């Protein structure tokens, strides 16, 4: 699905901060994380898993950022989806 983001923005809007907010609001519902398609990060030399995805460890905050933490007793790696701008 192709979406023209600029066509939905106000033409007279030249404030960069407002422009960022508008684009982020438009993109908020476009990104969906599918855990099945995310593979663990491995070391090709010894095949050690550095990131173990667990559904019970997923935390979502109010800033559109999703954090996927590693399993206990391992270093905490996380995948972040930040605001685009």
**DSSP letter, residue 38:** P
Q: Which residues pair with 58 in a beta bridge?
A: 68
CA terminus-to-terminus distance, the chain: 21
* Distance in angstroms (rounded) separating the CA atoms of residues 29 and 26: 7
Chunked in runs of 10, what are the mean pLDDT values of the chain (85 residues)?
51 58 60 48 52 46 43 44 47
> What's the pTM?
0.19
CA distances, 9 to each of 27, 32, 66 (Å): 12, 23, 26
Q: Which residues pair with 59 in a beta bridge?
A: 67
């Amino acid at each position: 699905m192709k979406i023209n983001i600029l066509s939905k923005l106000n033409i007279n809007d030249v404030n960069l901060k407002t422009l960022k907010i508008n684009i982020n609001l438009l993109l908020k519902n476009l990104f969906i994380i599918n855990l099945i398609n995310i593979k663990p990060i491995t070391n090709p030399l010894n095949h050690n898993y550095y990131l173990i995805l667990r559904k019970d460890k997923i935390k979502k905050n109010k800033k559109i950022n999703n954090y996927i933490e590693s399993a206990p007793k391992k270093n905490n790696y996380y995948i972040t989806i930040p605001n685009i701008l």
